[in-house]
Structure 1
């Protein structure tokens, strides 16, 4: 019917119906006129009103409510509606809530003899460059998935001396960041006498 509505002023309703019938889609002009003159069903009218209420509740809650909370709020306001209906209408309106999915776990405490001691006893101060480096690993969500970043910081200058970004949390991530820091310092002609380090928590 939308196709006929779109082209009826250019070609006319009867010629379009004849062409559609010849192409295998049988539709009579009387069918088109009956469809356009038919009143919307009670369900369509009710769902149009519900869509307005759903948009209102979603907007009043800063776009954070998903179908479950919108459904609960509508019931608190005395608007009876099934949750599956709210889900369907929210999909049709392009509305969705904010998810609180947690990110991946990057720090797992060591246990037993393989645990590494804190070599600097939580003292992150340094009196000269390359005395103390601190490394940390973080992550961020991207359109292609989680991305992990490792950084190495010189605690005297607070300068990032090495870094690496990968799509997987492997040992290479931290080692590449450390090797970058060592390479940049050696390229600058610096020595590493008494360099200490600790993994930040």
Structure 2
């Protein structure tokens, strides 16, 4: 909208009328932004396929695809995009000493027939943007899953429901 070689109106006056900073008129857009956007599309494609990759591995994949880029630039663009490799947090295997430790009751008991010893396990399944919780009731002798339930929340109701359904069909 600004004509730099206008005969009757200076660039300063044109900038005042448009309400823009005069320095932005003289600034030429760099092609670096276009390269960054192309690179961000490639990073997004790689991250969508392998969300556990960090900036180092993404850089290796980009290098294999023919892009010459260093890891600091990949890290900067990933931060700008708001993405990071999925990895476990620190100290996840350390137990909380304030929690009560329950004794292992079936110590020394060998399952000798079906329905002799049952076990139960609760785990989570990572979904896109949330978690689902899975409970499974297992017969230790046959290693058969007697009943399982899936829930969006970690409440005891779905565990009790799975146990009641297992007890309705089998008797330990």
Instruction: Pick the TM interval, shorter chain.
Output: 0.5 to 0.7
Partner of residue 117, structure 1? 103
Once the two structures are TM-superposed, the CA of residue 149 in structure 1 deviates from its matched residue by 0.8
Q: Looking at both structures, which has the greater relative contact order when contacts are Cα pairs under 8 Å and sequence separation is at least 6? A: 1
Contact 1:149 1:163 survives alignment (8 Å): yes
Determine the structure 2 residue equivalent to 1:182: 167
TM-score (norm 1): 0.47
Structure 2: how far apart are the matches of 1:108 and 1:182?
A: 33
2:30 match: secondary structure: helix
Q: Secondary structure at the match of 2:164?
A: helix
Structure 1: stretches of 5+ with no match in the other structure:
1-40, 76-80, 186-191, 196-201
Alpha carbons 2:78, 2:84 under 8 Å: kept: no
Structure 2: segments with no counterpart, 5+ residues? 1-26, 60-68
Deviation at 1:56, TM superposition (A): 6.9
Distance 1:139 1:45 in 2: 46
User: Conserved in 2, the CA contact under 8 Å of 1:163 and 1:177?
Assistant: yes
- Aligned residue runs from structure 1 range 48-197, under 5 A: 48-52=34-38, 64-65=53-54, 73-74=71-72, 83=76, 86=77, 91=81, 96-100=83-87, 110-111=99-100, 116-121=102-107, 125-143=110-128, 145-185=130-170, 192=171, 195=172
Q: Per the alignment, do residues 74 and 142 of structure 1 end up closer, same or farther by CA in structure 2, a change over 3 Å counting?
A: closer
Q: Displacement of 1:122 after TM fit?
A: 6.8
Paired positions, count: 128
Instruction: Report how far residue 108 of structure 1 moved.
Output: 7.6
- For residues 118 and 182 of structure 1, what CA distance do their matches in structure 2 show? 22
When Rg is computed on C-alpha atoms for both structures, the one with the higher figure is 1
Q: 1:53 to 1:162 in 2, by over 3 A?
A: closer
Instruction: Give me the CA root mean square deviation.
Output: 4.3
- Between the aligned partners of 2:141 and 2:125, the Cα distance in structure 1 is 27
C-alpha distance in 2 between matches for 1:60 and 1:117: 46
